[in-house]
Amino acid sequence: MTNSFMKIAEEALQDPAQFWADAAGDIDWITPATTILDDSNPPFYRWFVGGSLNGCYNAIDRHVLAGRGEQAAIIYDSPVTNSKRTISYAELQDETARFAGALKANGVGYGDRVIIYMPMIPEAAVAMLACARIGAIHSVVFGGFAAAELAKRIDDATPKLIVTASCGIEPSRIVDYKPLLDEAIEISAHKPDHVILLQREQSAASMIDGRDLDWNSEMAKAEPASCVPVKSEDPAYILYTSGTTGTPKGVVRPTAAHMVALNWSMKYIYDCAPGDVFWAASDVGWVVGHSYIVYAPLFYGCTTIMYEGKPVGTPDAGAFWRVISEHKVKAMFTAPTAIRAIKKEDPDGKLIADYDLSHFKSQWLAGERCDPDTLRWCEDKLGVPTIDHWWQTETGWAIASTCLGLAGGLENSPVKVGSPGRPVPSWNVQILDEAGKALPAGEIGAIVVKLPMAPGSLPTLWNNDTRFLDAYMNDYPGYYKTGDAGYCDEDGYLYVMSRTDDIINVAGHRLSTGGMEEVLASHQDVAECAVLGINDALKGQVPLGFIVLKSGVARAGADIIAEIIQLVRSEIGPVAAFKLAVIVQRLPKTRSGKILRGTMQKIANGEDYPMPATIDDPAILDEITAVLEANNLIANG
């Protein structure tokens, strides 16, 4: 397979089946697929049909058999418990086989679902891989998720068993998981047969006789289980997208397709080699954690970091640089919001100088739109390529990115600030207007992906083909609707400006709130920001900016607001009608770092809103409401 970007991208679009057939040769099959791409029932495309393989074998056993059992597989680094642990591939094989045996002993078999409700500890990865070992389907739910939301996932996935821990640990508090889990099981219609619980020393949980089982006791008596053949198109896992009302969408990840795609990405996107240390600073509850904490690094034979801490406060804004230095991380992946939090506390990057980053080669950003100021800060302070790339829970890996592992790397595809790069080979990204007509370069429209999507993306939703069609396929027949808006430039670089719902209509002009945020973030005193559209009787909508200042800024807030209003007028023009902004102490976010713009918009418009299931701290919404009320910025308020 050639690795010249332009050539490989062209080949992948012309013959995606051959392109991915070649890539499939880099994983271990029990029975090779008989059909690479089944396109007989669009839009329900299926990859690698008719084969069999095992995800746990590809993540662990094959590396041990190749003589690399002593290499570190997982490095657990937990500043919140002041503990660290290195687990070799051989040790991970033993623990995973034994926990797979514990699952089997408690009635879990091929195709059964297992919900995993755990913090960022190695046992979470062991539980995921153990499911893959015996052909069970896991569904990881972010540890500490609200009981009502957990119950929805229990009822939709109908798990045979739930795996949990007694608590999660935040910098300032202990989050007891067991009461939340007990409540969720009580209010759910479906009841799991058993709960396997890992007791953590920071907070012990009570056990229910007959249902609840102790992790250590089950491991001690378990017979190690072997890897079983899994059909290549069977689900590896279900991952629920965040939902505030109704049943969340259960994204299905097909077994072989996600293995082939993730294995390919480690070399050709992230430029890693087996044995390299890769760190995705996320959580196993999110898609980044599934793809790039657990599966992709282990499929490719890398060492992965499991970090139980924060970018700031554990203990300071140098936490990420310590981990990179201490564990010789080659490539690191986090959300822009994490970098902004660091930049807010250490704007000059002085703490970076305390650490040896000589092994560090690339910084990767994804999860939300990356403003140019954040990307430039990383490039300047870290001195390594900083690459924004774009993907979604539904896709499982990058749709657009600079591919460092392809020939020429940055020379052939230099980073353009504000863009996550060109579409990755085999992703056919297009920009359409509301009527489904292709738009020329530079014009904002709906970002869609021409079918079939690349391997690893969702083939449907769990037990809900109709919702899959309604949510993703029906609005633009022949295309997957990403829900994002943006444009492509004349060089084919994609610019993701906002969610489609965040394109606001100001007196007939369609404007991107993301473009305005980009301007606000360029101000020297702004740590982070959000812009949303609020109702206006004359113009339909007008933009409202929320500003968080950098630490130590002592200037008058009114002066800063006046400057940013003028900045938007200068950069975008009077058409933006940007005249309203407020300074807040913090922005409401999900636990994965996404700003809850929709909820803020409802507050400003005086509308009722459900409490977001994924919100990190509900008290922030009261703070936002108080600031808007004080500035008379709530409609009908």
Predicted local distance difference test score (pLDDT) of residue 2: 46
243 band by pLDDT with thresholds 50, 70 and 90: very low
- Alpha helices for 286-362 (secondary structure H): 287-288, 296-299, 319-326, 336-345
Tell whether the model's pLDDT for residue 449 goes beyond 90. Answer: yes
Q: What angle do CA 19, 58, 399 make, to 5 degrees?
A: 40
Tell whether the model's pLDDT for residue 637 goes beyond 50. Answer: no
Predicted local distance difference test score (pLDDT) of residue 507: 60
Taking phi first (over 0 means left), then psi (-120 to 50 degrees means alpha), and beta for anything else, what does residue 611 get?
beta
Rounded Cα distance between 120 and 294, Å, is: 11
178, 164 contact by CB (below 8 A): yes
Cis peptide before 452 (omega within 30 of 0): yes
Q: Token pair for residue 544?
A: 């409202």
206 residue type, one letter: S
633 residue type, one letter: L
Residues of the chain with CATH 3.40.50.12780: 5-309+389-486
Rounded Cα distance between 351 and 334, Å, is: 18
CA atoms within 13 A on the CB side of 27: 38
244 band by pLDDT with thresholds 50, 70 and 90: very low
**For the sheet containing 250-254, what is the strand order?**
212-214, 194-198, 161-165, 113-117, 137-140, 235-240, 250-254
In the chain, the percentage of residues whose pLDDT exceeds 90 is: 77
The alpha carbon of residue 63 and the mean position of all alpha carbons in its chain are separated, in whole angstroms, by 26
More confident residue, 629 or 500: 629
Cα–Cα nearest to 432, from 376, 502, 479, 391 = 479
Provide CB contacts within 8 A for 289, sequence distance 6+: 140, 280, 282, 283
339-384 per-position pLDDT tens digit? 988 998 999 999 999 999 999 999 999 987 788 889 999 999 999 9
Tell me the three state secondary structure of residue 365.
Answer: strand
498 band by pLDDT with thresholds 50, 70 and 90: confident
282, 333 contact by CB (below 8 A): yes
Other CB atoms within 10 Å distance of the CB of residue 586? 17
Q: Token pair for residue 15?
A: 């013959």
532-544 per-position pLDDT tens digit? 888 887 777 889 9
Beta partners for residue 113, in sequence order: 137
304-349 per-position pLDDT tens digit? 999 999 999 999 999 999 999 999 999 999 998 899 889 989 999 9
314, 571 contact by CB (below 8 A): no
155 residue type, one letter: D
Predicted local distance difference test score (pLDDT) of residue 614: 74
Tell me the three state secondary structure of residue 447.
Answer: strand
Predicted local distance difference test score (pLDDT) of residue 515: 78
Question: What sign results for the dihedral spanned by CA atoms 440, 443, 446, 447?
Answer: positive
Quick one: how many helices (H) and strands (E) in the chain?
21, 29
Window from 13-27, 47-61, 186-200, 576-590 with minimum mean pLDDT = 576-590
CATH of 507-630, one of 1.20.1630.10, 1.20.1050.10, 3.30.300.30, 1.10.260.40: 3.30.300.30
Residues of the chain with CATH 3.30.300.30: 507-630
Rounded Cα distance between 457 and 481, Å, is: 13
Q: Assign 3-class secondary structure to 125-158.
A: HHHHHHHHHHCCEEEECCCCCCHHHHHHHHHHHC
Predicted local distance difference test score (pLDDT) of residue 509: 63
82-113 per-position pLDDT tens digit? 999 999 999 999 999 999 999 999 999 999 99
Rg of the chain (C-alpha set) = 24
616 band by pLDDT with thresholds 50, 70 and 90: confident
Q: Find tokens 């697929």 and name the residue.
A: 33
The secondary structure of residue 351, as a DSSP letter, is G
DSSP string, 21-86: HHHHTTS--SB--SEEEE-SSTT--EEEET-EE-HHIIIIIHHIIIIITTSEEEEEEETTTTEEEE
Rounded Cα distance between 252 and 113, Å, is: 12
503 band by pLDDT with thresholds 50, 70 and 90: low
More confident residue, 570 or 585: 585
148 band by pLDDT with thresholds 50, 70 and 90: confident
Window from 232-241, 472-481, 604-613 with minimum mean pLDDT = 604-613
Cα–Cα nearest to 480, from 497, 458, 499, 496 = 458
CATH code, residues 5-309+389-486: 3.40.50.12780
More confident residue, 596 or 258: 258
Predicted local distance difference test score (pLDDT) of residue 564: 93
To the nearest whole number, what is the mean pLDDT of the chain? 93
Cα–Cα nearest to 122, from 165, 179, 80 = 165
Tell whether the model's pLDDT for residue 458 goes beyond 70. Answer: yes
Predicted local distance difference test score (pLDDT) of residue 442: 93
